[in-house]
Each structure stands twice: as C-alpha cells, then as structure tokens.
Amino acid sequence: DAGVTQSPTHLIKTRGQQVTLRCSPKSGHDTVSWYQQALGQGPQFIFQYYEEEERQRGNFPDRFSGHQFPNYSSELNVNALLLGDSALYLCASKLRGLAGSDTQYFGPGTRLTVL
C-alpha cells in the first residue's frame, strides 16, 4: 500500500518564477493538506482540499494556490517566488470525516530552494 507520495523531491527556482508541486494521497484517502516547513521550524498549515475545493486556509498570501483532482491528487502552486519561500513543502492526507488526528499521514516533502 503506497503511502503519500510527492514530486519532485527537490526543486531550484529563481525569484519571481512560479512553481507547481504535486501530491498523491495514501490509498483510500480523499483529503489533502499542504504545509510549509522552513529550516529549523515546525510545519505551518497552508490549506486543505477535499471534494476538489479549498476548505480551510492558514495565514498564507494568495500567491499560494492549489488544486485537487477527481482522483484526489493535489497540486500546490506558488507564484512570484520570494527568497522566503524556500522551505520543505509537506503534503498530508486523511479520510474526511474520520475523527482522530492519528489518521493523517505525511509525505516525504518537496524541498524548494529559491535563489
């Protein structure tokens, strides 16, 4: 049973560029959340998707947007990249409606470096 997968593993971009990160949830999961983890910090919640719509959002600007596809996979898009966007981007998945915070699983992350 494949867990949460993310691609690419690493990415290098320059300021002002746009980037798209991808996530496939664990088999059977329909809800995807994205987190940003700066070096030496804990993950910060960006947003959550289920039924192909954004359902909750953290304190991130509109430059951060997302999409969820009918197969539950998801993309995170970041426009007009800033140096401060350099971080590990984590995807987490769970089955909506299932209580218990032990049901959320994280992927290995995509390390984004903005030069």
Q: How many CA atoms lie within 13 A of 5 on its CB side?
A: 7
Kindly state the smallest distance separating residue 65's Cβ from another protein, in Å: 17
Q: How many helices (H) and strands (E) does the chain have?
A: 0, 11
- Residue 70 or 99: the one with the smaller Cβ distance to another protein is 99
Q: How long is the chain?
A: 115
Q: Nearest distance from residue 23's CB to another protein, in Å?
A: 11
Amino acid at 89: Y
Q: Closer to another protein at the Cβ: 18 or 110?
A: 110
Nearest-angstrom CA–CA distance, 44 and 51: 22
Give 19 or 89: the residue with its C-beta nearer to another protein.
89
Minimal distance, residue 16 CB to another protein, in Å: 27
